[in-house]
Amino acid sequence: MRFGVLVFPGSNCDHDCYHVLKHTFGRSVDFVWHKENSLKGYDAVIIPGGFSYGDYLRTGAIAKFSPIMKAVEQFAGEGGYVLGICNGFQILLEAGLLPGAMLRNRTLKFICKEVFIRVENNHTPFTNRCKPHQILRLPVAHADGNYYAEPSTCQILESHRQIIFRYCDSQGRTTEEANPNGSVLSIAGICNERGNVLGMMPHPERGAETLLGNTDGRLIFESLLSSLEVETR
Amino acid sequence: MKENSITLKEVLQHGLTQDEYERLKNLLGREPNRLELGMFSVMWSEHCSYKSSKVHLRKFPTEGECVIQGPGENAGVVDIGDGLVAVFKMESHNHPSFIEPYQGAATGVGGILRDIFTMGARPVALLNSLRFGPLSISKNRYLFEGVVAGIAGYGNCVGVPTVGGEIYFHEIYNSNPIVNVFCLGIARKDQITKGVARGVGNAVIYIGSKTGRDGIHGATMASESFGAESESRRPAVQVGDPYTEKLLLEACLEMMKLHLIEGIQDMGAAGLTSSSVEMAGRAGTGIELDLNSIPLREEGMDPYEIMLSESQERMLLVSKPGQEDQIMKICRKWDLEGVIVGRVTDDRLFRIKLHGKEVASVPVRLLTEEAPVYERPFAIPGYLDAIQALNLDLIPEPKDYNQVLLELLSSPTLANKEWVYQQYDHMVRTNTVLLPGSDAAVTRIKESQKALALTVDGNSLYSLLNPYQGGAIAVCEAARNLVCSGARPLALTDCLNFANPEKPDVMWQFALTVEGIADACRHLRIPVVSGNVSFYNETSDIGIYPTPVIGMVGLIQDTNRVTSSWFKNEGDLIVLIGEFKEELGGSEYLRVIQGREGGFPPSLNLAQETAVQTSCLKAMEAGIIKAAHDCSEGGMAVALAEACIASPYEKIQGAKIELNTDFTRKDALLFGESQSRIIVSIRPDRLSGLQRITYSLQVPTTVIGQVGGERLTIALKGQKVIDIPIQDLKQVWRGAIRDQMNGKAHV
């Protein structure tokens, strides 16, 4: 089982994702430079957080033109697992692999803090180790995490159960106060219709070690690992 | 074409005095041309030459067993074992931040990051120390908002976490905000790279952003006082591009890993000029530059502008022989411009060519070592007696201590800084073991079991009232903060922010501050490994209070020993390590509640301080301490409240405190800021273990209460003086800055 962590100029969380996969979970993992054009040999691909191309113009808007993104499209088309975290989510939106767009946070400020999210669908390759409606505590760190999609798109997302995480309070209530950035329907993460591409704003790689005071993010990686294990069996 | 002679007016416009210009001509043996005059003016500026501070800074102890590189390089380096080193430094960006807060602060972060990665270290954490005028004034809110956004915008994009800092608000900073930024990096010992132009014939390579007309004479601006027209100096402020910085960082570290570089330096203050001559100066070589090859942002730039530009995100490096192609390849990988712009020479001259013709030629030494050094006169200020006088008999004790505590917790200096640090990505790189809000920030080292603790500290009111004491306390308190997080202090960097050094009052403040710092360093055995001086923090003749800021790094051998400041479990005993005293001079309580600024700052006994810190560390190593919090601004009552509510997690703890010591004034006992005191919490059965340690070091300890419940209650000799639900404390403490920034009045 082999993981690829994409590296764009400006990726910042590439080392963090690599560290978790390699040292917390003991898996094989490579950095994949954005000028590569193949993802052959990988079982899952992580698009990490950061400021690809400085987030100049618009988050993820330039990264989508990198050669590797054609390979990601193909990889996803063949059913490969793609996890986009934060800037990775923004890139997936810009690349059209997920529907919708990101706006500036409602506060117009960068927000870094721990939030609660509720697992809305635990029948995905990324959440199968979560309990139904399980509440996870995970950090967010972004200036553009205010997810928006048109009502018709939201309806489709809802009916296909593509909304995977919603911001909530510690009791699981999706209140306005618990929504850190103003995302429509409190959306914190969505997947594609087929379920093999997930984008999420919170950082599971920052919540995978006891020393850091947070282990809820492990569930995302454990889910992905178990999905891959089932497949390879 | 021959230039006209240089006039006195031009000399003065360049920030040089007439005497300095005469000295320049004598040393050079001729009149300089305008380009050369420009280069001398920046290299001899206070900012680059330390001409007023040098004689004093020599008093700092700079050696210790862990020190690998002391002052004089781009940053200090200390050994942390396992073949690793910690590299750190602090710098000021006060002047530009006042003129253009976002870019001023952002480029400050950019500059300090480059100082760290030029040494071969990957930056792992940023801190900042900020001072503003009160938030009730809209200009201050604008400056505060802009500076915080600038630090966030830059650090977040580069992907280096900003893990902590300190902020004070005081009227004296209305027209002179202080923005000091600190960066810590980690390197493999064998990858330390220095700012040296070694190897005659080696290529000098320019990488990074193109050179533009921005920031010309930034260093000179930072060496002058401001007047009413200062905002018209915006063009002297640079504009930051954090994305290019990130590319530079990765490219440089890649080159260093492959050992391609002989020496490297950031083109910071004074740009191409300072990076060239400082590298040549350290190596005892010369440098020849070809200006036609410098990448320019705009057409028509003349040599003067090119050599003095302070455009950001540029590095000058000296290639190892034959490694030029490898270096260029890495530049291309990271979409960076890389150009050979000159050679290292053996003539010890700095020579600049344009179209094959020499346009400047100056012995390197004249620009660096031969810069003027001043022993500026100093004198005890006339104001001193008046501000040190404090008659407590004239100050009535408050009736409602609950109200006093709430008011203190909601004063912006003491209030929670969540509004600030939530704008900083403080978790990226997944090393932040302690989230902001504890006494020190702690970042683990992934390659080992160890962690580093880091903090910045300085109280300018203490420094005003007694500069020696202020400097010494800043060192002790920084060390105490590290100890409270479980770390043994290793070394420090400093940022000394002062007003105009040509005034004897100010020079007196400076000289005494340095002595205070030096004495405390010697006692605590903490060397100074890098630092920065910022003078001329003065606008329209009003100077800042002396504002020394200490940045300190400590080592935690085992991440399991990391200790935070907040109370953990119901039933734990709360113990004061140190003495009860009643000192109100220079306290936040006097300033905020009584509207008085004066008296003597708290006393300090360096032997006692050392003993308190040692005993606390020993108890931590024995696994006795569950929480440790330094008593500082706001005194014991505020420290206790913070220990109750500072946890970043949902569950917070109350405390029941009973003080049975004799006292004369309740306010002095509760809010006095006596030094050398740490509040700890322990499991009840560990008390005798703690006492064995503290008694052996002759440090008094007193059990003062117990953790638990939903309230903080403090009783003095059986009489309850404070009794507040901890949720109320938390609410005012957390909301104060946010409310003020949103234009809501505070309590």
Q: Under an 8 A CB cutoff, do B433 and A141 touch?
A: no
A212 touches chain B (CB under 8 A): yes
CB proximity B403 to A under 8 Å: no
Cα–Cα distances in angstroms (integers) from residue B77 to residues A125, B184, B193, B529, in the given order = 46, 10, 11, 7
Does A9 sit within 8 Å of B243, measured CB to CB? yes
**In this complex, is the C-beta atom of B301 within 8 Å of any C-beta atom belonging to chain A?**
no
CA A110 to chain B, closest CA, distance in angstroms equals 5
Pairing of strands B286-290, B178-188: unpaired
From chain A, the residues in CB contact with B242 under 8 A are: 51, 54
Give the count of alpha carbons within 13 A of B741, CB side only.
17
pTM: 0.96
Q: Is A46 on the interface with B (CB under 8 A)?
A: no
Q: What is the pLDDT of residue B747?
A: 42
pLDDT in tens, chain A (233 residues): 899 999 999 999 999 999 999 999 999 999 999 999 999 999 999 999 999 999 988 899 999 999 999 999 999 999 999 999 999 999 999 999 999 999 999 999 999 999 999 999 999 999 999 999 999 999 999 999 999 999 999 999 999 999 999 999 999 999 999 999 999 999 999 999 999 999 999 999 999 999 999 999 999 999 999 999 987 66
CA B350 remoteness from chain centre: 32
The answer to whether A206 and A217 are in contact (CB under 8 A) is yes
- Residue among A112, A140, A205, A216 with most chain B CBs within 10 A, to mutate: A112
Q: Is A53 close to B243, i.e. CB distance below 8 A? A: yes
Do the chains contact at A9 and B650, CB–CB below 8 Å? no
The nearest CA of chain A is from the CA of B430 a distance in Å of 6
Judge whether B120 and B191 are in contact, CB under 8 Å.
Answer: yes
Measured between beta carbons, which residues in chain A are less than 8 angstroms from residue B433? 211-213
Which of A51, A55, A211 is closest, CB to CB, to B433?
A211
Nearest residue of chain B to residue A113 (CA atoms): B422
Residues B572-630: tens digit of each pLDDT: 999 999 999 999 999 999 999 999 999 999 999 999 999 999 999 999 999 999 999 99
Instruction: Determine whether the interchain pair B247/A9 forms a contact, defined as Cβ–Cβ distance below 8 Å.
Output: yes
User: In the prediction, which pLDDT does B2 show?
Assistant: 58
Do the Cβ atoms of A110 and B424 come within 8 Å?
yes
Which residues in chain A have Cβ-Cβ distances shorter than 8 Å to B149? 109
A110 contact B CB<8A: yes
Q: Collect all residues with Cβ–Cβ distance below 8 Å to B567 and sequence separation of at least 6.
A: B574, B626, B627, B643, B644, B647, B653, B655, B681, B707
Q: Per the residue annotation, which of A13, A86, A168, A191 is the catalytic one?
A: A86
Kindly give, in sequence order, each residue whose CB lies less than 8 Å from that of residue A42, ignoring residues fewer than 6 positions away: A2, A3, A4, A30, A32, A75, A80
**Cβ–Cβ below 8 Å for B435 and A55:** no
Residue of B156, B243, B334 with shortest CB distance to A110: B156
**B567–chain A nearest CA distance, Å:** 16
| Residue B736, H or E segment | helix B726-741
Q: Do B559 and A113 touch (CB under 8 A)?
A: no
Q: Is A133 a catalytic residue?
A: no
A222 touches chain B (CB under 8 A): no
Confidence at residue B447, expressed as pLDDT on a 0 to 100 scale: 85
B648 touches chain A (CB under 8 A): yes
Report yes or no: B428 at the A interface, CB cutoff 8 Å: yes
Query: Using the beta-carbon criterion (under 8 Å), do B650 and A10 form an inter-chain contact?
Result: no
- Whether A118 contacts A170, CB under 8 Å: no
- Per-residue tokens: B159: 């992907």
In B, which residues are within 8 Å of A54 by CB distance?
Answer: 157, 241-244, 246
Pairs of residues, one from chain A and one from chain B, whose beta carbons lie less than 8 Å apart: 90
- A:172-201 residues touching chain B, CB 8 A cutoff: none
Mapped onto helix, strand or coil, the DSSP state of residue B159 is coil
Active site residues of B: 47, 93
CA distance B279 to B264: 8
Nearest chain B residue to A34 by CA: give it: B333
Tens of pLDDT, residue by residue over B71-87, are 989 999 999 999 999 99
Classify each residue of B206-225 as buried b or exposed e, where b means 16 or more C-beta atoms within 10 Å of its C-beta. Answer: bbbbebbbbbbbbbbbbbbb
Give how far A81 is from chain B: nearest CA, Å. 24
B245, B313 contact by CB (below 8 A): yes
DSSP characters for B480-500?
HHHHHTT-EEEEEEEEEE-S-
pLDDT along chain B (747 residues), means of 10: 80 94 97 96 93 96 96 95 97 94 96 96 98 96 98 97 97 97 97 95 97 77 69 70 96 96 91 96 97 93 93 96 98 96 98 97 97 96 95 95 98 96 98 92 95 97 98 98 98 98 97 98 97 95 96 97 96 97 95 96 97 98 97 97 92 96 95 98 98 97 98 97 98 95 67
pLDDT of B746 reads 47
Name the residue facing B428 among A109, A141, A211 (closest C-beta). Answer: A141
Instruction: Give B562's strand partners.
Output: none
Residues of B in contact with A113 (CB under 8 A): 422
Q: Quick check: B423 and A205 CB within 8 A?
A: no
Residue B275 token pair: 């990076």
The reply to whether A40 touches chain B by the CB within 8 Å rule is no
pLDDT of residue B1: 47
Q: Which of A18, A23, A51 to mutate to probe the B interface, most B CBs <10 Å?
A: A51
Q: Do B430 and A209 touch (CB under 8 A)?
A: yes
Catalytic member of A17, A34, A94, A203: A203
Give pLDDT, residue A233. 62
Tokens standing for residue B449: 């079991």
Q: Which residue of B has its CA nearest to A207?
A: B430
Residue of A nearest to B435 (CA): A212
Contacts of A9 in chain B (CB under 8 A): 243, 246-247, 250, 334-335
Interface predicted TM-score (ipTM): 0.97
The rounded distance, in Å, linking the Cα atoms of B511 and B363 is: 32
Question: Which positions in chain B touch A51 (Cβ < 8 Å)?
Answer: 156-157, 159, 242-243, 246
Token reading at B670? 């509760």
Is the Cβ–Cβ distance between B314 and B206 less than 8 Å? yes
**Cβ neighbours of B559 in A, within 8 Å:** 211
CA of B344: how far to CAs of B190, B587, B607, in Å? 24, 55, 51
Token pair, residue B488, equals 């043994």
- Strand, coil or helix: what is A139? strand
Measure Cα distances from B420 to A113, B350, B410, B556, B734 in Å.
Answer: 12, 45, 15, 27, 11
CB atoms closer than 10 angstroms to residue B685? 8
User: What pLDDT is stored for residue A231 in this prediction?
Assistant: 76
Structural contact between residues A145 and B156, judged by C-beta atoms closer than 8 angstroms: no
Residue B467 to chain A, least CA–CA distance (Å): 38
User: Would the CB atoms of B156 and A170 count as touching at under 8 Å?
Assistant: no
Query: Closest Cα of chain A to B159: distance in Å?
Result: 5
Letter for the amino acid at B511?
A: A
